[in-house]
Amino acid sequence: MSETIKTDVLIVGAGPVGLFAVFELGLLDIKTHLVDILDKVGGQCAELYPEKPIYDIPGIPYITGHGLTDALMQQIKPFNPTFHLNEMVTSLEKTGDPGFRVTTDGGKTFECKCVVVAAGGGSFQPKRPPINGIEAYEEKSVHYAVRKMENFRGKRLVVVGGGDSALDWTLNLQPLAKSLTLVHRRDDFRGAPDSVNKMRALVADNKMDLKIGQVTALEGSDGVLAACAIKGNDGTVHRVEVDAMLPFFGLTMKLGPVANWGIEMDDELIPVDTGTFETNIPGLFAIGDINTYPGKLKLILSGFHEGALMAQKAHRYVYPDKKLVFQYTTSSTSLQKKLGVA
Amino acid sequence: MPKITYIEHDGSQHTVDAEIGSTVMETALRNDIASIVAECGGSCTCATCLVHVDEKWFAVVGPPSSDEEEQLDAAFEVKPTSRLSCQIKVTEAIDGLIVHTPAYQGR
């Protein structure tokens, strides 16, 4: 199931800087698609601090991460970008001068003139618990996400964590599973109260088990789990026979596949030219927290500036025969038409 | 200026000056304590600046807030004296504080 999507520019990362790049490119008639590994737009603003204040967006004395994301979505609406969420860009290949073919883990292929890497601190990926040898069981028996519930039918499951992901999957998988044990470090859950009540009712009916403590060891062979050791807060260790374990400890940022795209890197960051924010590969740009240059500051406002300059250079690649005339949104009727306000 | 001692999991110790009003996390970053990641920059949303407060200092530092306690759910090998270092403010009262940093912050 592969589809090829043609676009002018593909933006990798739908955080604030990726979103604002849509605006700057849109003003220059450049069409964009965005890919993001999260299931929502906003990047760190959405994942790490949706309700936390930001005080240094020019002209906006105070806004939350969620508020800024919403405002940017409203600002770029006239340009109608297409979002591909829950997908990670896995490979990037140069096909022209410039021209790129980019594929995602969702089976999509993009063909585009330019690529803008606005990947911030990298991809948000599940935290791996520090249990000896856990890597060997990943894919087969240890799962950080549920792709198909059916895969867990009739299995003995251990779910680890105390948030909504752990509780939701506990409630969804319990009816299918042969047995289910939820493990959490304390007898208090931050998940939605309704989910907590439902889980407690299942425990009271002996339909599932709740253990307070942490998983400290795994047993099995060839990537197939047989049992895990759960250490209670009182120090006692229980051995639980298990076919699959699902740990939910939230997400962490990892650089991910960007490192394999042939871009020159400097300590997990991408050096760029500060006039164009282009990398060592023509037509491939890097803006926001993922780039580096003398004096770089990891501020959202810097990423906005970088996007504006990037768009000027991208225009030369997308419309090589058109002369770009600099215009202000305040006075240009043509820009205002694009924004739907003229 | 208050002093803080960070004892890393391999036993190495770093005693550094801490600015009043900053946090134990910021002080760690300023002094290149590698085991403090602080991915979210001090917003109490990522649980990658975990420290285990030395037993004899825990009463001075105090327990986590309920927000912080919830974030601790996303940390590993949490102990009764564990705190997120971005939530511990530097004051005169913590002069001499000892914290132990974990081997792994989730990445």
Contact: B40, A44; criterion CB under 8 Å: yes
Contact: B40, A190; criterion CB under 8 Å: no
Q: Which residue in chain A has the smallest CA separation from B74?
A: A249
Mean pLDDT of the B13-21 span? 97
- Write down the pLDDT at residue A147: 86
Chain B residues contacting A, CB < 8 Å? 39-40, 43, 45-48, 69-70, 72-78, 103-104, 106-107
Pairing type for strands A291-292 and A284-286 reads unpaired
The alpha-carbon gap from A128 to the nearest alpha carbon of chain B, in Å, equals 6
- Write down the pLDDT at residue A82: 98
Which 3 state secondary structure label does DSSP give A228?
strand
Round to the nearest angstrom and report the end-to-end CA distance of chain B.
32
- Write down the pLDDT at residue A1: 52
Which 8-state DSSP code applies to residue A231?
E
ipTM value, please give it: 0.91
Q: How many alpha carbons lie under 13 Å from residue A280 in its C-beta half-sphere?
A: 10
- Write down the pLDDT at residue A342: 86
Share of chain B above pLDDT 90, in %: 97
A252–B contact, CB cutoff 8 A: yes
The alpha-carbon gap from B104 to the nearest alpha carbon of chain A, in Å, equals 7
Question: B35: which residues sit within 8 A by CB, 6+ positions away?
Answer: B8, B9, B101, B102, B103, B105
Q: What angle do CA A39, A109, A310 make, to 5 degrees?
A: 75
Nearest to B70 among A49, A190, A254 (CB): A190
Helix axes A300-318, A16-27, angle to 10 degrees: 40
All residue ranges of chain A with pLDDT < 70 are: 1-2
Question: Which residue in the block uniquely carries the two structure tokens 């935290």?
Answer: A127
Closest to A191 in 3D by CA, of A213, A212, A171: A171
Question: Which residue in the block uniquely carries the two structure tokens 């927000």?
Answer: B67
Q: Tally the residues of chain A.
A: 342
Give the tens place of pLDDT for each residue, B45-60.
999 999 999 999 999 9
Mean pLDDT of the B9-36 span? 96
- Write down the pLDDT at residue B107: 80
Question: B83: which residues sit within 8 A by CB, 6+ positions away?
Answer: B50, B51, B53, B61, B64, B68, B99
Round to the nearest angstrom and report the end-to-end CA distance of chain A.
42
Interface A:B, Cβ pairs < 8 A: 54
